[in-house]
Homo-oligomer: A and B are copies of this chain.
Amino acid sequence: MSTFNRVAIVGGTHGNEFSGIYLLKKWQASPALIRRASFETETLFANPNGFRDNKRYLDCDLNRQFLPADLANMELSNYEQSRAKVINAQLGPKGSARTDLVIDLHNTTSNMGPTIILLKADAFNTQLAAYVSSRMENAVILFEDHCSVEEHYFLCSIADQGIIVEIGPQSQSVVRQDVLDWMDEMTAHILDFVELFNKNEVPELPATVSAYRYEETLKLPESEDGERLGMVHRNVQDADFTVLRNGDPIFTLFDGTEVCWEGDYDAYPHFINEAAYYDNNLAMSLGKKVEIDVIR
């Protein structure tokens, strides 16, 4: 019996992240590309009106609307809050979902390459991480397992297993072929792995896999009234997943002053200078580099 019977691939959760949207179109034209023998694959275009208006979202970020309390709160009724409830009804409901795995396709303006974000470090996810790493040389594994899946507000947290495929750098509202091809390839590796996992045919894998684990989020320098006073330092720009140590320059103020990072661990920045995070003056996330045991 298969562990995974139903897999959903979601694109366009953010309306101006084009790779997933155009891959959905491609796969709808050629469904065999995402078909595997041991499970059903369905696709879902999460925020069509965001795409229509060429915006990340109309009213609020769809990928922050999947906390159980918010899904249950009928007062939350704007466009994305409504889409969240519809998607939860279609793929979920969260907590007892009819979908076993949600793969949610995203782009970032940050230089993160092909990154797979995993929400827990169990047997399935650690084996998946090792498998994808072995098949795709530039794949990056990022664990955001600082809370339970239920406590995550991401769309992919609807299912017991949820994955974010996060690929950049790509400006909002464009399609880059390199980024599209990476997303296409990474998604295929994930589907292949699920097939192997279902059939109990996962190949020999290393005992551990190199990954990053989310630690904290840093804000851009800002004044008391929230005006931006500086930017990401040129040494850090594009240096996603490159180590940042205590005392390294991290920001440059508009008056030229350099600001250094004060931290007590070797940090690996990512989502550096992501355009969508300027809403909240976020500068980057920091992670730790980890060797994760592959659980068999």
Contacts and interface: CB of A to CB of B under 8 A. Distances in A.
Q: How large is the interface on A (under 10, 10 to 19, 20 to 34, 35 or more residues)?
A: 20 to 34
A226 to B, nearest CB: 14
A163 to B, nearest CB: 23
A98 to B, nearest CB: 30
A174 B237 CA distance: 11
A146 interface: no
Given A254-B25, A255-B26, A275 B174 contact: yes
A276 to B, nearest CB: 8
A177 B232 contact: yes
A71 B233 CA distance: 42
A273 interface: yes
Nearest to A254: B26
A109 B181 contact: no
Contacts of A180: 231
A273 B174 contact: yes
Identical copies in the complex: 2
Contacts of A169: 171
A278 B171 CA distance: 12
A181 B234 contact: yes
A2 to B, nearest CB: 31
A22 interface: yes
A275 B171 contact: yes
A231 B177 contact: yes
A177 B233 contact: yes
Kindly list the 7 A-B residue pairs having the minimum CB-CB distance in the complex, ordered from nearest. A177-B234, A109-B171, A175-B231, A171-B171, A173-B275, A171-B275, A174-B275
Given A29-B255, A175-B273, A177-B237, 18 more contacts: A22-B231, A25-B254, A26-B255, A30-B255, A109-B171, A109-B174, A172-B172, A172-B173, A174-B275, A175-B228, A175-B231, A175-B232, A176-B231, A176-B232, A176-B237, A177-B232, A178-B234, A181-B234
